[in-house]
Amino acid sequence: MAQDSRSIPVEYPLRIIGTGRCGTTFMCREAQKAGLRIGHDKLGQDGVSGLAWCDPDPKRCKTDTLPLGSYRLTVHLVRHPLPCIASIAYTGMLVNFWEWIRQRLELPADPLLRAMRYWLEWNLRCEPLADSRIRIEDMGGKPMLARDHKAVSWNELYGADRQMASRIEQQATGYGY
Residue 146: per-residue pLDDT: 57
Percent of the chain past pLDDT 70, that is, above it, reads 79
Among 46-50, 131-135, 143-147, 150-154, where is mean pLDDT lowest? 143-147
Q: Is 42 exposed, middle or buried (0-12, 13-18, 19+ CB in 10 A)?
A: middle
Could you read off the pLDDT of 99-136 as tens digits, one per residue? 888 888 899 999 999 999 999 999 999 999 899 999 99
Please give the pLDDT value at position 5.
44
CA distance 93 to 105: 16
Q: pLDDT confidence of 89, banded at 50, 70, 90?
A: very high
Q: What is the pLDDT of residue 100?
A: 82
pLDDT confidence of residue 80: 96
- Residue 10 pairs in a beta bridge with 69
DSSP 77-143: EE--HHHHHHHHHHTT--HHHHHHHHTTS---SSHHHHHHHHHHHHHHHHGGG-SEEEEGGGGT-HH
Contact 55, 125 (CB under 8 A): yes
pLDDT at 155: 98
Q: Cα-atom radius of gyration of the chain, to the nearest Å?
A: 16
| CA separation for the pair 57, 19 (Å, rounded) | 17
Taking alpha carbons only, the member of 74, 84, 115, 112 closest to residue 98 is: 115
Least confident of 16-25, 77-86, 89-98, 109-118: 89-98
Query: pLDDT tier at 6 (50, 70, 90 boundaries)?
Result: very low
Cα-flanking dihedrals φ and ψ of residue 29, to 5°? -65, -40
**DSSP 3-state of 17:** strand
Q: How large is the average pLDDT for residues 146-151?
A: 74
**Mean predicted confidence (pLDDT) in 84-100:** 83
The mean predicted confidence, pLDDT, of the chain is 84
CA–CA gap between residue 67 and residue 4 (Å, rounded): 9
All domains of the chain in start order, with CATH: 5-174 (3.40.50)
pLDDT at 14 over 90: yes
